[in-house]
A = this chain, B = another copy of it.
Amino acid sequence: MRCRLIPVARTSLVSLRRWGSVGSRQQITRRTASAETISALKELLGDRLSTSRSVLEQHGTDESYHDVTPPDAVAFVESTEEVTEVIKICAATRTPIIPFGAGTSIEGHISAVAGGVSVNLSGMNGILKLDRENMSVKVEAGVTREQLNADLRATGLMFPVDPGANATIGGMVATNASGTTTVKYGNMKTNALSLTAVMADGRIIKTGSKCVLYMEVLPETNLVINCDFAVYRARKSSAGYDLTRLLIGSEGTLAVVTEVELRLSGVPEAEKAMICSFDKMKDAIDTCTTVMQMGIPVARMEMMDENVVDAVNRYSNLNNSLRPSLIIEHHGSANELEQQSSVVQEIARDFGAMDIEVASTSEDRKRLWSGRHSVWHAVLNQVPGSRGFSADVAVPFSKLTEAVVETQQDLKTSGLFGTIVGHVGDGNFHVLIPFTDDNKEHLGRMKAFSHRLVKRALACGGTCTGEHGIGIGKMEYLPMEHGGAVDFMYTIKKALDPQDIMNPGKIFYANDRSN
């Protein structure tokens, strides 16, 4: 079983034909919440259990292109113990449970495809314990990253993961979110130290190192029935299986995460950002890969194609050159930044960069990033009445230039208006395409393009999703990416959630799996 490597240029797309029917979509059985279940939940939560039509519709809608499938009821929970009660009530009738945070998913994670109860955690938004000495904070899952960083402002500490959207920490755990700063600070697997989670049978666990202060066990079975913890934690451990990282990225299919302990980073002494534009996309990406391969520290390295620059210029009233561009930011001491920034500028010039503009004041830097952060709305603004489709792939560095250039070409050939942005320091890029539901022919072309893009990424050793997760949108690609390993992922799913009540119909096509 030695590897045959197929160069990207030739992939599009030989040999992927044999995938056949693995992952083909099949109908999922609906398990509507019964009147008894809803009445039991009502008794538990009172007014915080809603079945109003507008609330249901809102909870079936995220920022994705997927169809709206509202749940049968929405439970606005306020504590971990309440989540336990909700799960126990639902488990008794095999009613699906769909965790809901800020609704910013773009792969349909919150869609109630099998019916059931949406568990809205946005009311669990307490910042429970800041530990300055160990640079960590424990928060409830409904805290948003903007809320957390606002709260940390006076401490000199920050939570660095920035997926763009103002997602909740719980949602970011669910999809293993990352974003513009991941090239320096990592993703959720790097920055979440431990989790409190409610499992499919209602039991509460706390993952990660901690001290058990108190534990009650049933004498015959040694079953733990009650315990209490101190949750600082050590910086490393080799004790047992890594449930923290198993739950991160499991998209609500194994447990409802209710509390998260996060690693914090110091606010950097200084920050320096620049934007530079290139004649050709290839030159921009080559600059990026060279910077990375030389190991020059960057805190952010974002690529925008000319369509994005145009959209952002119009939307935010900016005046950037209409060419493929990179925004590069460094964090560190003033001294280090000077050195790093000048090396990067030199590399960029070697690749023909024009208009290198360094944001020297904090206002300039804010304006620069406000453009990048507005991309989603700026692009949709180009097509009145549109919704947005966002593709998300990541590829190895050595293949990044080819992958992006081929994708540009594919957009052109397909006659699609699409815009490419990328966290190129991670080899991760998105294609944003505005669309309207009434134009079926356009929708078809868009989906075919997306399919080719994913297969192109996979064929060069990349992933079908760099940071958005599988949800309902990428299910057919999981076996292409992981092969037989998916069977063992599903074995774990079945073992931890034997009734398939935890966000069913996401990640796996259950009826594809054999064990």
Binding site for B on A (CB under 8 A): 1, 3-6, 15-16, 18-22, 80-81, 129, 131, 133-135, 175-178, 182, 187, 189, 199, 203-207, 209-217, 219, 221-224, 227-243, 245-246, 248-250, 254, 266, 293, 295, 335-336, 339, 394-399, 426-428, 457-470, 474, 477-489, 491-496, 507, 512-514
Q: How far is the CA of A328 from the CA of B219 in the complex (A)?
A: 49
A/B interface sample: 5 pairs, CB < 8 A: A134-B398, A205-B488, A206-B485, A209-B461, A239-B470
| Contacting pair A134 B397 (CB below 8 A) | yes
Q: A133-B398, A428-B236 are in contact. Are A481 and B215 (CB under 8 A)?
A: no
Other than the given A1-B204, A223-B514, 5 more pairs (CB < 8 A) read: A3-B229, A205-B485, A212-B479, A233-B463, A246-B492
CB distance from A202 to the nearest CB of B (A): 12
Kindly name the residue among A209, A221, A241, A463 whose own CB sees the greatest number of chain B CB atoms within 10 A.
A241
CB distance from A406 to the nearest CB of B (A): 15
Q: Which residues of B contact A19 (CB under 8 A)?
A: 212, 215, 217
Contact of A207 among B135, B187, B462, B485 (CB under 8 A): B485
| Contacting pair A396 B295 (CB below 8 A) | no
Kindly name the residue among A239, A397, A459, A480 whose own CB sees the greatest number of chain B CB atoms within 10 A.
A239
Q: How far is the CA of A355 from the CA of B21 in the complex (A)?
A: 70
Contact of A238 among B211, B224, B232, B468 (CB under 8 A): B468
| Contacting pair B249 A241 (CB below 8 A) | yes
Contact of A211 among B204, B245, B458, B485 (CB under 8 A): B458
Q: How far is the CA of A470 from the CA of B477 in the complex (A)?
A: 36
Q: Which residues of B contact A465 (CB under 8 A)?
A: 237-239
Q: A238-B468, A394-B235 are in contact. Are A211 and B243 (CB under 8 A)?
A: no
Q: A222-B22, A230-B5, A232-B398 are in contact. Are A15 and B238 (CB under 8 A)?
A: no
CB distance from A73 to the nearest CB of B (A): 26
Q: How far is the CA of A420 from the CA of B150 in the complex (A)?
A: 42
Q: How far is the CA of A192 from the CA of B239 in the complex (A)?
A: 18
Q: A461-B233, A479-B224 are in contact. Are A175 and B426 (CB under 8 A)?
A: no
Q: Which residues of B contact A177 (CB under 8 A)?
A: 238
Q: Which residues of B contact A488 (CB under 8 A)?
A: 199, 205, 243, 496
CB distance from A409 to the nearest CB of B (A): 20
Q: A222-B22, A492-B496 are in contact. Are A396 and B234 (CB under 8 A)?
A: yes
Q: Which residues of B contact A491 (CB under 8 A)?
A: 495-496
Q: How far is the CA of A224 from the CA of B515 in the complex (A)?
A: 11
* CB-CB nearest 6 A-B residue pairs: A232-B461, A495-B495, A237-B463, A133-B398, A234-B394, A205-B485
